[in-house]
């Protein structure tokens, strides 16, 4: 396996702190999840990354099949609290492929799920539900 890219982010303060890129290109306040939060949280950051990566995989599959559509992916990330005190996340990926029949759109979404690096990294670790909407 050949490394194609590497990046880094630095966190100070955990869930109530800040995160920044070493080169200064990104700096965000991190806060606990909630509707009155002034910052972002790890679940939102994961959702942003997964939605972007998965939509890239969808676009790759569209190109492979010579199909045109303005794809959109919403990643809904939930944080669950287990009775034993531990936490776990779960993801619902909502894939929109305007102008494509539902059966074909589901095939594209399934192929994207097999191809996407985020999907491959999470497979067997968390629940990920891919839905064509």
**Ranges of each domain in the chain:** 1-36, 42-132
* CATH number for region 42-132: 3.30.300.20
pLDDT digits (tens, 9 = 90+) for 1-12: 999 999 999 999
Asked if residues 118 and 54 have their Cβ atoms less than 8 Å apart, the reply is yes
pTM over 0.85, yes/no: yes
pLDDT digits (tens, 9 = 90+) for 16-35: 999 999 999 999 999 988 77
Q: Is 51 exposed, middle or buried (0-12, 13-18, 19+ CB in 10 A)?
A: buried
């Amino acid at each position: 396996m050949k490394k194609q890219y590497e990046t880094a982010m630095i966190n100070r303060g955990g869930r109530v702190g800040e995160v920044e890129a070493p080169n200064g290109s990104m700096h965000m306040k991190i806060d606990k999840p909630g509707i009155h939060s002034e910052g972002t949280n790890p679940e939102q950051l994961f959702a942003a990354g997964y939605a972007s990566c998965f939509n890239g995989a969808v676009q790759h599959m569209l190109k492979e099949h010579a199909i045109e559509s303005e794809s959109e992916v919403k990643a809904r990330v939930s944080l669950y609290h287990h009775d034993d005190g531990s936490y776990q996340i779960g993801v619902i990926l909502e894939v929109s492929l305007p102008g494509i029949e539902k059966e074909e759109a589901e095939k594209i979404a399934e192929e994207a799920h097999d191809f996407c690096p985020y999907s491959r990294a999470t497979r067997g670790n968390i629940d990920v539900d891919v839905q064509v909407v």
